[in-house]
């Protein structure tokens, strides 16, 4: 199932690792919008636009791609609650491209793990 034309969903992201990123952000949850979601055999992917960019190690990241960290708990389960996820920072150019969820060319930058859930 491909959910491209969905209405943006308000979400909250909590960081669990790396420790230094959590410390830099004072462990505050990140707020944003889930813009696009695609289900696949690996648990799916979601494009998230953060309300406030993450400034980390000399770069700024406004968009992240979330993937599920646990088999049997796809990213689409966010509609029912918290999902443990891995997050990869992407550029604004990639976010606006025809394939924003493709992180196969990712070679470094922002990456972290945590939880994604609907904003309360």
* Distance, CA of 76 to CA of 52 (rounded, Å): 23
Q: pLDDT class for 3, splitting at 50, 70, 90?
A: very low
Which positions ≥6 away from 5 have C-beta within 8 Å?
A: none
Q: Which of 47, 51, 61, 59 is nearest to 28 (CA)?
A: 51
Residues 6+ apart with CB under 8 A from 93: none
The residue among 33, 36, 27, 41 whose CA lies nearest residue 12 is 33
pLDDT in tens, 22-49: 998 899 999 999 999 998 888 889 999 9
């Amino acid at each position: 199932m491909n959910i491209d034309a969905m209405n943006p969903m308000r979400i909250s992201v909590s960081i669990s690792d790396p420790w230094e990123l959590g410390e830099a952000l004072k462990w505050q949850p990140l707020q944003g919008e889930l813009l696009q979601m695609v289900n696949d055999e690996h648990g799916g992917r979601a494009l998230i636009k953060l309300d406030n960019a993450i400034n980390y190690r000399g770069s700024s990241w406004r968009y992240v791609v979330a993937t599920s960290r646990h088999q049997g708990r796809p990213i689409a389960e966010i509609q029912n609650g918290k999902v443990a996820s891995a997050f990869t920072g992407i550029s604004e150019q990639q976010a606006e491209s025809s394939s924003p969820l493709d992180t196969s060319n990712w070679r470094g930058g922002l990456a972290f793990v945590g939880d994604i859930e609907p904003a309360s």
